[in-house]
Amino acid sequence: MSKEDDPLDKIINNIKNRDEHEELYQKPPSILKMIANFAISMAEFIAKGAPIVNMRDYKQRVRACGNCPHLKTKRMQCGLCGCFVEHKAKMKTAQCPDTPQRWAPQTPEYRPNE
Protein backbone atom coordinates (compact mmCIF):
# COMPACT_ATOMS: atom_id res chain seq x y z
CA MET A 1 0.00 0.00 0.00
CA SER A 2 1.45 3.37 -0.96
CA LYS A 3 1.36 6.36 1.36
CA GLU A 4 -1.35 7.88 -0.82
CA ASP A 5 -3.58 4.87 -0.11
CA ASP A 6 -3.30 5.17 3.69
CA PRO A 7 -6.63 5.89 5.34
CA LEU A 8 -6.64 9.42 6.70
CA ASP A 9 -7.52 8.24 10.22
CA LYS A 10 -4.41 6.04 10.25
CA ILE A 11 -2.18 8.96 9.21
CA ILE A 12 -3.61 11.22 11.91
CA ASN A 13 -3.50 8.53 14.61
CA ASN A 14 0.13 7.75 13.82
CA ILE A 15 0.97 11.41 14.30
CA LYS A 16 -1.05 11.74 17.51
CA ASN A 17 0.56 8.63 18.99
CA ARG A 18 4.11 9.93 18.66
CA ASP A 19 6.03 10.31 21.89
CA GLU A 20 5.16 13.63 23.52
CA HIS A 21 8.84 14.21 24.26
CA GLU A 22 9.54 14.46 20.53
CA GLU A 23 7.75 17.81 20.47
CA LEU A 24 9.85 20.93 20.42
CA TYR A 25 9.07 23.02 23.48
CA GLN A 26 7.97 26.48 22.60
CA LYS A 27 5.63 28.96 24.13
CA PRO A 28 2.30 28.62 22.31
CA PRO A 29 0.68 31.71 20.82
CA SER A 30 -1.60 33.68 23.14
CA ILE A 31 -5.31 33.08 22.90
CA LEU A 32 -5.71 36.54 21.35
CA LYS A 33 -3.09 35.75 18.70
CA MET A 34 -4.80 32.42 17.93
CA ILE A 35 -8.16 34.16 17.55
CA ALA A 36 -6.62 36.79 15.26
CA ASN A 37 -4.90 34.09 13.14
CA PHE A 38 -8.15 32.14 12.90
CA ALA A 39 -10.18 35.24 11.96
CA ILE A 40 -7.72 36.24 9.22
CA SER A 41 -7.61 32.72 7.78
CA MET A 42 -11.38 32.31 7.85
CA ALA A 43 -12.04 35.73 6.31
CA GLU A 44 -9.82 34.93 3.33
CA PHE A 45 -11.24 31.40 3.06
CA ILE A 46 -14.82 32.68 3.00
CA ALA A 47 -14.01 35.59 0.66
CA LYS A 48 -12.58 33.11 -1.88
CA GLY A 49 -15.73 30.96 -1.75
CA ALA A 50 -14.56 28.41 0.87
CA PRO A 51 -12.42 26.29 -1.50
CA ILE A 52 -11.34 22.89 -0.17
CA VAL A 53 -8.26 20.91 -1.29
CA ASN A 54 -8.67 17.41 -2.74
CA MET A 55 -8.04 14.38 -0.52
CA ARG A 56 -4.57 13.69 -1.95
CA ASP A 57 -3.39 17.22 -1.17
CA TYR A 58 -5.06 17.13 2.24
CA LYS A 59 -3.19 13.96 3.18
CA GLN A 60 0.06 15.48 1.91
CA ARG A 61 -0.47 18.58 4.06
CA VAL A 62 -1.32 16.56 7.17
CA ARG A 63 1.78 14.39 6.65
CA ALA A 64 3.94 17.51 6.23
CA CYS A 65 2.59 18.90 9.50
CA GLY A 66 3.16 15.52 11.14
CA ASN A 67 6.86 15.85 10.37
CA CYS A 68 7.07 19.42 11.67
CA PRO A 69 8.81 20.04 15.01
CA HIS A 70 6.25 22.76 15.85
CA LEU A 71 3.23 20.43 15.81
CA LYS A 72 1.60 19.70 19.16
CA THR A 73 0.78 16.10 18.32
CA LYS A 74 -1.81 15.24 20.96
CA ARG A 75 -4.04 18.12 19.85
CA MET A 76 -2.87 18.20 16.21
CA GLN A 77 -2.34 21.92 16.79
CA CYS A 78 0.29 24.13 15.19
CA GLY A 79 2.63 25.54 17.81
CA LEU A 80 3.26 28.64 15.69
CA CYS A 81 -0.20 29.89 14.74
CA GLY A 82 -2.37 27.81 17.10
CA CYS A 83 -4.58 26.45 14.32
CA PHE A 84 -5.85 22.89 14.37
CA VAL A 85 -4.08 21.19 11.50
CA GLU A 86 -6.88 18.77 10.67
CA HIS A 87 -9.08 21.75 9.76
CA LYS A 88 -6.65 24.31 8.39
CA ALA A 89 -5.07 21.80 5.99
CA LYS A 90 -8.41 21.49 4.18
CA MET A 91 -8.51 25.15 3.15
CA LYS A 92 -7.01 25.98 -0.25
CA THR A 93 -6.33 29.52 0.92
CA ALA A 94 -4.25 28.46 3.96
CA GLN A 95 -0.51 28.03 4.16
CA CYS A 96 2.02 26.76 6.65
CA PRO A 97 3.01 29.60 9.01
CA ASP A 98 6.56 28.27 9.34
CA THR A 99 7.45 28.01 5.68
CA PRO A 100 5.25 28.11 2.60
CA GLN A 101 7.42 25.39 1.09
CA ARG A 102 5.90 22.91 3.58
CA TRP A 103 2.51 23.67 2.03
CA ALA A 104 1.32 26.75 0.24
CA PRO A 105 -2.07 28.17 -0.72
CA GLN A 106 -3.69 26.68 -3.80
CA THR A 107 -5.22 29.81 -5.23
CA PRO A 108 -4.80 31.30 -8.71
CA GLU A 109 -3.46 34.51 -7.12
CA TYR A 110 -0.60 32.68 -5.38
CA ARG A 111 2.57 32.69 -7.47
CA PRO A 112 5.44 31.10 -5.47
CA ASN A 113 8.13 32.00 -8.03
CA GLU A 114 7.27 35.66 -8.44
Residue 13 inside a domain? The answer is yes
Instruction: State the pLDDT at residue 29.
Output: 87
Global pTM? 0.71
Answer whether 62's CB lies under 8 Å from 15's CB: yes
What domain range is 49 assigned to?
Answer: 3-20+35-88
DSSP conformation letters of the chain: --GGGS-HHHHHHHHHTS-GGGSPP-PPPPHHHHHHHHHHHHHHHHHTT--B--HHHHHHHHHHHHT-TTEETTTTEETTT--BHHHHTTBTT---SS-TTTS----TT--TT-
Q: How far apart are CA 38 and CA 105, in angstroms?
A: 15
| One-letter amino acid for residue 107 of the chain | T
What's the chain's Rg over C-alpha atoms?
A: 14
Residue 80 inside a domain? The answer is yes
Residue 113 inside a domain? The answer is no
Residue 95 inside a domain? The answer is no
Residue 110 inside a domain? The answer is no
In the chain, the number of structural domains is: 1
Residue 41 inside a domain? The answer is yes
pLDDT > 70: percent of the chain: 79
Residue 114 inside a domain? The answer is no
Mean pLDDT of 25-37: 85
Residue 16 inside a domain? The answer is yes
Higher pLDDT, 92 or 10: 92
Per-residue model confidence as pLDDT tens digits over 82-111: 999 999 999 999 999 888 778 888 866 554
